[in-house]
Chain A
C-alpha cells in the first residue's frame, strides 16, 4: 500500500506527467463537482424542510458549513505540501502550496461572510468576538499573510521555503478553531456533524449538507489542479524568458567581439 502510494507520488512528481494526468482528470472532477452542487442545490431548495429553530435560514448552512470545512481542510493541505517541500523537496509540493493558498483564502472569506449573513437574523448581529469566529478570522489573515510573504520576495525558492515555515507554524490554529467551541463559552454552536456519537442533524438536512460538501470539495480539487497547472506553466514561461534573454545577451557579446 505504502509502495503504491510512493510510486504514484514519484510518477506525478514530474511536472510534465502531472500536466498530462491532470488534463485527463480535470473534466471528470469538474463535471462531477457541477453535478453534485446542482443536486445539492435541488435538495437544499426543494427537499430540505425548514429547521424547527432556524426556519429557512438553515439553507445558508448548506454553503456556510462546506466553506468552513474547506477553509480548514485547504490549510491542512497547504501545511502538508509545505512539509513535503521542506523535508522531501518534492518538486510539486511548493506548486501545490502556492496554488492552494488563494483558494483557501476565498473559502475562508465565504465562511465568514455567509456566517455573518446567517448570524444577523439568528443572533441579531453580523459579528461577535466569539472564539470560533475570531479564530477563523485569524485563519483568513494567515492566508493573506502567506500570499503577502511569498509576493514580497524576488527569490522564488527562498519565498517558497519561508512561506512553508510560516504555514507549518500556523497549523497550530487548526485545533484551536476546531475545539474553540468546546474550550471556550462561545455563541457559535458546537460540532453537530463531525462529533463523537455521530451527527445530531436529521437526515433531511444532513443529506443535502453532505452532498453540497462533496460538491464543494470536488470543486476545490478541480480548481487546485487548474491553479497548479497554471503555476507550472508560469514557471516554464519565466525559465524560457530568462533563457531567451541570456541567449540574446550571449549572441550580442559574440557579435561585439567579432
Chain B
C-alpha cells in the first residue's frame, strides 16, 4: 500500500491515536482493578457497606 509522499504524517497520526486509546483502556482497567482490590481488602477486614451488612444479617 502506497501512502504517498506524506506517509510519515499519516502513520504518526494513527500511531498517536492508537497509543492514547490503548493507554486510556489500560489506565481504566488498572484503576478498576486497584479499587476492586482495596474494596475486597476492606470487606475481608469486616468493614461492609450498610446494605451489604443488612443483607448478611438477614
User: A residues touching B (Cβ–Cβ < 8 Å)?
Assistant: 16, 45-46, 50, 55-57, 59-60, 63-64, 67, 103, 106, 109-110, 113-114, 117-118, 120-121, 219, 223, 226-227, 229-230, 233-234, 236-237, 239-241, 243-244, 247
Contact = CB atoms under 8 A, between A and B. Distances in A.
B10 A223 contact: no
**SS of A interface (majority):** helix
B4 A63 contact: no
Given A56-B6, A120-B9, A223 B28 contact: yes
A109 B25 contact: no
Nearest to A236: B39
B20 A109 contact: yes
Contacts of A117: 9, 12-13, 16
B7 A56 contact: yes
Contacts, number: 90
Contact of A60 (B2, B10, B36, B45): B10
Given A106-B20, A109-B20, A110-B20, A237 B42 contact: yes
Given A64-B13, A241-B42, A233 B36 contact: yes
29 contacts: A57-B4, A59-B10, A63-B14, A63-B17, A106-B24, A114-B13, A114-B16, A117-B12, A117-B16, A121-B6, A219-B21, A223-B25, A226-B29, A226-B32, A227-B28, A229-B32, A230-B28, A230-B31, A230-B32, A233-B39, A236-B49, A237-B38, A237-B42, A239-B49, A240-B42, A240-B43, A240-B47, A240-B48, A244-B47
Nearest to A45: B1
A63 B47 contact: no
Nearest to B25: A223
Contact of B9 (A50, A57, A219): A57
Given A50-B4, A56-B10, A110-B17, A237 B35 contact: yes
Given A236-B49, A241-B42, A55 B4 contact: yes
